[in-house]
Structure 1
Amino acid sequence: MAILYPLFKAALTVVTALSFLNAAVVGSHLSIYNELGAPTFRSPRNVLFAVVAGGSSHTSWVAQILNELSKRGHSITFASTGSHLRFFKPYPQMKGVSFGNETVDYRLGQHVIREPRTWDGLRSDFKLDTDVYEPIYNDMKNVISNQQFDVVISDFFCPACIDAAYAANIPTILTVLFNPVSASSESTTDRISLWLRFYKKFFYPVQLYWNLATELEKFEQQRQKCIGFVPEDNTRHSLVIINNLYGIEEARPMEPLSEMIGPIYNGAYDPLPPAIQKFLENHERVVFGAFGQHAAMTRDEAVRVLVGLLNALETGLIDGFMWVPGRSIDGNARTLFPNTVTTASGQEYRVEDLYRDHPHARLSSWAPQFAILQHPSVITFLSHGGGTSLFEVSYAGKRAVIIPFFGDQLANAVRLDRAQVAVHLDISKLDDILEALRRVIQDKDGVLQSNVKRYQALMQIRAQHAVARGADLVEEVIFATKDGILPHRQDVAKKMSFLKANNYDLYLCLAAIVMGLGWAIRFAHHSWKVYYQKITQEKKLKQN
């Protein structure tokens, strides 16, 4: 028996382990609905998505959500300007509608935004919005009138689309790549001085109105003309779906009607072309640079970036680079450069050679960004700091130098630099690009790569169910809306007075109590003092 007992115990252990393994395997094939029963809320509905500008970062991730909704049985229509329809080609089951004429599409595509924003730049933004509002509104109105939609999903930066849905009394969801309140270098007050906070709170709104009142009035007149009235706040009940996450965004409380679900990546990525594959395989330390679809540089800026990359190549910091420079402020990429550029060593390079067959340096008008970032030869990414690019470089686990141009890019660069995930290089300091690259590539204490690995895990974890979560939110609006609002998401603070919602009434009570106690103590002290003086005086009189 002494011999059989250990054998019996071992056999029992194996059987128990196999039982748990079998339960785990079976459980992995059971969804929550196998436990609770099939969902009964869902029935086919009509969903409309509208977008007019912003390129893939405003479109591709939403297309992923729409594709999931289509799989759940819903009918999907997307309405967009011609240049954005290409993002829906992988989804033939969706119905596409082109709106906004070619002039509108071209003007939106060519509009350039740069930081720091000037009043003239902001006026130009308002003027563009005013000019394209009516044709977009009318086309959106026609799309809505031709089919009954249960919900409209609109890009955050399409006011005409939002207004058309509001006028038709259709629940609206807004989609955006970043929290709209984060589009500045300091998205919280944590590092802002008292005086700057005071200025932004009280003086900047006055300054804003003073400089933009005329353009704002013209825009409101255009809305009045199209809608027949000007909604006071047409998005106050709209759910906002943000393709972002804490880590890229600053950690802080969110509004009940705002949800960050990111990162959502593109549905499909282009593979490496043979020429790029060969280039990468022939090198071991490559910097890849890309500044997105909308970043625009001056010739001087482009030359300084190119010279910095060539200097890094000549010093042996890297053995190759690839760069997609994008466009110039007044033209395409080829107008960015002179015929030749000269490095710090005095070496002269023909720019045309860099676009063709240089063995170690490549300029290109396009490249499959994500595929390149995933190649082991790429060690650093030179980026503009757009949200999608940061998602991709983080997923690939690569370090980055960020040169922001506008919008959320500046905030992204500042935050990731402070988190020691990337290095922020201001566009006014492009002469320091070699030093920034050296700092990132050498990473002497290993802090950058350690943090990059954390972010890689964060991105990969969050990406697993992001699309499903986005589709769930759309269905929440479709099936849980009451009279055009989501009652369960209404901020309870809005039902309270300003004082109660911020606990100011408690502070006022405390102040009243303290003041009352202070007055009582002062009164008691004064009374005692008078009494003491009276007693003292009486004693003196008796002594006399």
Structure 2
Amino acid sequence: MSLGPKTVLARKIEDKMCDVGMDGALTTVLSSITSVYEEGCHLTSPLLEYKAHVELFKKYNVDVALCDIYVMSCMDAARIMKIPFIMTLLIAGSKDAATPYTNVDLLTRGDPTTLHESFSTRFYNRLIFPLRMAWIAYPEFKALTKTKERAGFESEDGYTNIFWDDSIKLINSVFGLESPRPVGPLVEYVGPIIPRTYQPLTEDLKQYLDAHSRVAYVAFGQIATATADSLTKVLTALLENIEQGSIDGFLWATVLSTKNLPETVTTSSKKTYIVSDMFNNANPHARMVNWAPQCAVLHHPSIIMFVSHGGAGSMHESLFAGKRLVIFPFFADQPGNAWTIEQKKLGSRFDKNTPQHKINQIIRKVALDEDGQMQSNVERYKALVQIHSRHGMIRGADIVEEVAFLQQNGKIPHRYEVSREMSYIKAHNLDLYAVLFLILAFPLIALYKIITIFAIKAIQTITRQKKLKSL
């Protein structure tokens, strides 16, 4: 199973993903993937992703490869060696999981469905935005294709790999967190997969949480980070809510956000807070750490909410622990997850354009949950996540075994729809509808012809009679 070595691809993108949005995320990822293959054209280091996968597959006589959607080198190595590969995804974003009323494309993913979208929004998202993104990404797609060709790979359509059509997609999610819809036979929901064991709290963190009863946990993932302005607004909102009593503390795992944090923050009460005090444990109610054992933190009874970037893993872990969410999304699946959390009334969301006073209100609303509706919904979804996570790994393992034993030259034809062997016309019964149309249309056409003939004759008769009278 390959998620991609952080030393190669993730290292190339993590410093560039600062509140980049969809446009920047797409071009950054594509250019980074291209650079990995570019290095493969000139270097012979076994650490290069593609060659590392080939050597790994040979060394261990691999029967099935599980490749993350972004690790193209894993898929290329498996395909060339005729090893079946299974794609792993956080959301079902492939075309065999798409419907006209859902937004599954990561590039246009906002509201997961078109239910609440206006005509203009649907028109833009379906027709204009994809063209805009294609225009923006075209240079990167072209560079990636050419680079892969120089590295010895057959030509293909950039990152939209046609060979995905032949592979099973394992989705680490569940209907309810994803919009229910019909999907193809190559799409399998096996999530949410939640770790059963996790690193415990440090004694220092345990003492801090034990000393409080209404703590907000904050973390924005390990790939992207927000701008200094956005982080300042989030920090200000947390401190404002501590002053107002909505929460009695927060724990922030800063990870990549540390470098963009302000030195001081001043709230509306004119009180100034020094950020370094939050790292040095000098502030009794505001605690910042470079990293925290997230699962252990979320399971602590003092945590009442999670302020998150909305990554699927964080969302699953929060719901598994029964915690309300406030989502500040960046890109990929996160905007869609933020919409889901808000629409299901499991929490709320904001973005980089949300004004300070509104963020303050959002934190307060979720923290207090005055009518208890949010927590009631969270408890329902807690059951959903816990039930499906119980056997998620077993379901996934069953599929891996199925592929291993039934594959033929890297393909799994027993899973392919029979429509692949038919013409489009036959597969969609267009020939039947065409004949039915002719059958129904023939009497009408015949009747039209008869009426026309009689009408012409009647007109001719009337014309002759008029001529005779005139004589």
Is TM (by shorter chain) over 0.5?
Answer: yes
Paired residue for 2:145?
220
Provide the rounded CA distance (Å) in 2 between the counterparts of 1:105 and 1:382. 24
Paired residue for 2:15?
110
- 1:407 matched to 2:332: yes
Provide the rounded CA distance (Å) in 1 between the counterparts of 2:327 and 2:78. 38
- 1:177 matched to 2:177: no
Shift in CA distance, 132/324, structure 1 to aligned 2, threshold 3 Å? same
SS in 2 for 1:289: strand
Instruction: Confirm or deny: 8 A CA contact 2:198 2:293 kept in the other structure.
Output: yes
Paired residue for 1:342?
266
Instruction: Confirm or deny: 8 A CA contact 2:324 2:375 kept in the other structure.
Output: yes
- Which of residues 440, 450, 455 in structure 1 aligns to 2:376? 450
Paired residue for 2:351?
426
- 1:163 matched to 2:76: yes
Instruction: Confirm or deny: 8 A CA contact 2:19 2:227 kept in the other structure.
Output: no
Q: Structure 2 matches for 1:141-220, cutoff 5 A? A: 141-181=54-94, 182=104, 183=106, 184-194=109-119, 197=122, 206-220=131-145
Give the CA deviation at 1:521. 5.0
- Which of residues 30, 36, 50 in structure 2 aligns to 1:132? 36
Give the CA deviation at 1:317. 1.1
Give the CA deviation at 1:344. 0.9
- Which of residues 230, 245, 252 in structure 2 aligns to 1:316? 245
SS in 1 for 2:137: helix
Q: Structure 2 matches for 1:20-59, cutoff 5 A? A: 49-52=1-4
Higher relative contact order (CA 8 A, sep 6+): 2
Instruction: Confirm or deny: 8 A CA contact 2:8 2:36 kept in the other structure.
Output: no
- Which of residues 453, 473, 490 in structure 1 aligns to 2:399? 473
Instruction: Confirm or deny: 8 A CA contact 2:216 2:247 kept in the other structure.
Output: yes
Give the CA deviation at 1:347. 0.8
Q: Which range moves more in the overlay, 452-461 or 137-146?
A: 137-146
Shift in CA distance, 262/337, structure 1 to aligned 2, threshold 3 Å? same
Give the CA deviation at 1:227. 3.1
Give the CA deviation at 1:516. 4.5
Give the CA deviation at 1:111. 4.2
Paired residue for 1:35?
none
Paired residue for 2:181?
252
- 1:354 matched to 2:354: no
Shift in CA distance, 494/440, structure 1 to aligned 2, threshold 3 Å? same
Give the CA deviation at 1:148. 2.1
Instruction: Confirm or deny: 8 A CA contact 1:397 1:452 kept in the other structure.
Output: yes
Provide the rounded CA distance (Å) in 1 between the counterparts of 2:283 and 2:130. 52
Paired residue for 2:385?
459
Deviations 1:450-470 (A, max 9, x none): 211110110111111111111
Give the CA deviation at 1:313. 0.5
Instruction: Confirm or deny: 8 A CA contact 1:256 1:490 kept in the other structure.
Output: yes
Provide the rounded CA distance (Å) in 2 between the counterparts of 1:321 and 1:504. 61
Q: Which range moves more in the overlay, 148-157 or 340-349?
A: 148-157
Larger C-alpha radius of gyration, 1 or 2? 1
Provide the rounded CA distance (Å) in 2 between the counterparts of 1:421 and 1:404. 15
Give the CA deviation at 1:279. 1.9
Paired residue for 2:45?
none
Provide the rounded CA distance (Å) in 1 between the counterparts of 2:394 and 2:273. 50
SS in 2 for 1:429: coil
Provide the rounded CA distance (Å) in 2 between the counterparts of 1:353 and 1:396. 29
Paired residue for 1:229?
154
Q: Structure 2 matches for 1:266-281, cutoff 5 A? A: 266-281=195-210
Instruction: Confirm or deny: 8 A CA contact 1:295 1:326 kept in the other structure.
Output: no
- 1:393 matched to 2:318: yes
Q: Which amino acid aligns with 1:349?
A: Y
Paired residue for 2:172?
243
Provide the rounded CA distance (Å) in 2 between the counterparts of 1:321 and 1:257. 43
Paired residue for 1:65?
none
SS in 2 for 1:248: coil
Shift in CA distance, 517/448, structure 1 to aligned 2, threshold 3 Å? farther
SS in 2 for 1:169: coil
Shift in CA distance, 478/506, structure 1 to aligned 2, threshold 3 Å? same
Give the CA deviation at 1:507. 5.4
- Which of residues 338, 363, 378 in structure 1 aligns to 2:288? 363
Instruction: Confirm or deny: 8 A CA contact 1:354 1:361 kept in the other structure.
Output: yes
Q: Which amino acid aligns with 1:407?
A: A
Q: Which amino acid aligns with 1:357?
A: A
Deviations 1:236-265 (A, max 9, x none): 221111111112211111121111100111
Provide the rounded CA distance (Å) in 2 between the counterparts of 1:141 and 1:493. 33
Paired residue for 1:75?
none
Provide the rounded CA distance (Å) in 1 between the counterparts of 2:305 and 2:9. 37
- TM-score normalised by structure 2 residue count: 0.84
Q: Which amino acid aligns with 1:477?
A: V
Instruction: Confirm or deny: 8 A CA contact 1:297 1:327 kept in the other structure.
Output: no
Provide the rounded CA distance (Å) in 1 between the counterparts of 2:237 and 2:295. 23
Q: Which amino acid aligns with 1:146?
A: K
Provide the rounded CA distance (Å) in 2 between the counterparts of 1:505 and 1:108. 50
Instruction: Confirm or deny: 8 A CA contact 1:126 1:219 kept in the other structure.
Output: yes
Q: Which amino acid aligns with 1:444?
A: E
Paired residue for 2:224?
295
Structure 2 stretches lacking a partner, 5+ long: 41-47, 95-103
Instruction: Confirm or deny: 8 A CA contact 1:443 1:449 kept in the other structure.
Output: yes
Provide the rounded CA distance (Å) in 1 between the counterparts of 2:184 and 2:167. 11
Provide the rounded CA distance (Å) in 2 between the counterparts of 1:127 and 1:487. 34
RMSD: 2.9
Give the CA deviation at 1:270. 1.4
Shift in CA distance, 205/371, structure 1 to aligned 2, threshold 3 Å? closer
Provide the rounded CA distance (Å) in 2 between the counterparts of 1:436 and 1:382. 11
- Which of residues 412, 417, 424 in structure 2 aligns to 1:486? 412
Query: Number of aligned pairs?
Result: 443
Q: Which amino acid aligns with 2:359?
A: I
Paired residue for 1:26?
none
Q: Which amino acid aligns with 2:360?
A: L
Shift in CA distance, 339/229, structure 1 to aligned 2, threshold 3 Å? closer
Give the CA deviation at 1:500. 4.2
Deviations 1:25-72 (A, max 9, x none): xxxxxxxxxxxxxxxxxxxxxxxx2221xxxxxxxxxxxxxxxxxxxx
Give the CA deviation at 1:425. 1.5
Deviations 1:74-94 (A, max 9, x none): xxxxxxx3x5xxxxxxxxxxx
Deviations 1:478-526 (A, max 9, x none): 0111332222210233333334444555655565556545545544554
